[in-house]
Amino acid sequence: MTNLVTLAELGGPLAAIGGAAYARHAHPAAYWSTVGLPLSAARLLASYSSTMDACGLTVEPSRWRALAVRATTRREVRPVPPRRGMIRPTSTGLRMRLRLAPGQEPMDVAASAERLRHAWGVHAVYVRDVKPGVVELRLVGYDVLRRVRMPRRFDSGLLRVPVALREDATAFARDYRAVPHELVLGATLSGKSMYLRHLISGLAAQPVALVGVDCKRGVELAPFASRLSALATDPAEAAELLPVLVKEMEDRYDLIKARQGIAPGTPDEEITSDVWGLPESERPPPIILFVDEVAELFLVASRKDEERRDEMVTHLIRLAQLGRAAGIYLEVCGQRFGAELGKGATMLRAQLTGRVCHRVNDEASAKMALGDIAPEAVSAACSIAPELPGLAVVGDTSGGWSRIRTPYLSLADAAATCRASAHLAPDVPALAPFRPHVPPVPVEASAPAVAPRPVTE
Ligand SMILES: Nc1ncnc2c1ncn2[C@@H]1O[C@H](COP(=O)(O)OP(=O)(O)OP(=O)(O)O)[C@@H](O)[C@H]1O
Ligand SMILES: [Mg+2]
């Protein structure tokens, strides 16, 4: 009997511990909200001063403070940690602001991030510079990139779409106004097309012309045909489409020039050097050119094709060089993008400001994307596991980098989004001949209106 009672007494807590361990692995978000958050918050509150001291983030108290402590208490005067703001819980972690003491800089706190993460039992700690003298600590409770859930609220706008989640649980947005052209690199099956899929379905709802060059015979981009203003599915079609885009860009420059020249009395603020300064009624819609498997445009089988290749590369370089002011942006995807592709490859790469590097097979490929950003970014890209497709290292315009992962989006859902917003495709007359043919959606076979009757005598 006593054995039974002991078993019952032990069974409860053991089941609770087992359940918590299971929830932590299988439902990390629910575990964090119910168990992880209160535990970490309690640890943080209880050990804040001692942890900061152990990390070397405390400073000697001011003379007035030391005097006040001595006068009011008999305790020894201890070094003081940075003043802490309110702890703000989130669905993925905790946030807290710190006021740096004189002589401290954000890098001091960032250098201790790994120690803080262990002290407070969280998955990771990130430090963000908020304003001079104030940093924000972002504690992330669990690995948010394992099962990606985008934050519910984010500031999207024209030409700004959230495509992935950063490892600090904030949304990563692709902003074409800030970073006009981008290179997306990665080995096969690393998630490049998924990244494109998110971009296209995000932009589908905006008044933007989407143009695709997909030399895999269109298998990646053709499902979005209903929303695309133009689609080329092999190098020969691309060779016809690219000069039309360059011509469109030149026409847009003429439009801007005409606007600058027409009225000599135009107020200064209305003189513009790009399409965004044009009045809305005259402004041509932005065009985004998606190139999947860019190497296909560079590779030639015979000498005869070489001329066509050189022309295409020159057009791409011109679009990358001059496109931004004309509202033409490039999103270039490839498995490798180095000098071995031939003339013009490195020149085009140098024009692509944004860099996203998915899993790669060798360090040289990662260097093609991130080499000029940071050596740590290259090694981070080389260590992406094949089990996590969609995970990538993205270079910031500020020279920093972070890990991101796209959420899963099925091709059918993305294609449905494109079909639903097909009417939003803006009218760009020059691209009309390249508009892809969209086969009509077959109507579901329903019950026939008149029930067939067997023929009888
Ligand atoms: N974020 C993600 N979450 C889950 N699965 C993903 C994610 N990204 C990609 N995948 C899966 O990984 C596989 C490869 O993705 P994708 O087709 O985007 O790769 P790719 O880099 O374009 O490959 P390729 O060079 O062969 O075209 C697909 O089956 C896709 O469903
Ligand atoms: Mg692909």
Q: Is 191 in the pocket of ligand 1 (CB under 6 A)?
A: yes
Tens of pLDDT, residue by residue over 145-201, are 999 999 888 878 899 999 999 999 999 999 999 999 999 999 999 999 999 999 999
When the pLDDT of each residue in the chain is averaged and rounded to a whole number, the result is 87
Is 191 annotated as ligand-binding?
Answer: yes
- Quick one: which of 358, 346, 229, 343 has its CA closest to 290? 229
Tens of pLDDT, residue by residue over 393-451, are 998 656 789 999 999 999 999 999 999 999 999 999 999 999 988 766 665 544 454 55
**Ligand located closest to 357 CA:** 1
Domain boundaries, the chain: 17-140, 160-434
Residues 6+ apart with CB under 8 A from 73: none
Is 189 annotated as ligand-binding?
Answer: yes
Residues 6+ apart with CB under 8 A from 32: 91, 92, 93, 141, 142
**CATH code of the region 160-434:** 3.40.50.300
Is 186 annotated as ligand-binding?
Answer: yes
Q: Specify the amino acid at residue 442.
A: P
168 CA to centre of ligand 2 in angstroms: 27
Tens of pLDDT, residue by residue over 2-54, are 565 565 566 666 666 666 677 677 788 888 988 999 999 999 999 999 999 99
**CATH code of the region 17-140:** 3.30.980
Is 304 annotated as ligand-binding?
Answer: no
Q: Is 189 in the pocket of ligand 1 (CB under 6 A)?
A: yes
- The residues placing their C-beta within 5 Å of ligand 2, an ion, are 192-193
Q: For residue 90, give Cα distances in angstroms to 26, 135, 406.
A: 19, 18, 21
pLDDT of res. 422: 92
Asked whether the domain spanning 160-434 has the same topology as the one spanning 17-140, the reply is no
CA–CA distance, 110 with 375 (Å, rounded to integer): 18
Q: Is 334 in the pocket of ligand 1 (CB under 6 A)?
A: no
Tens of pLDDT, residue by residue over 196-212, are 999 999 999 999 999 99
293 CA to centre of ligand 2 in angstroms: 7
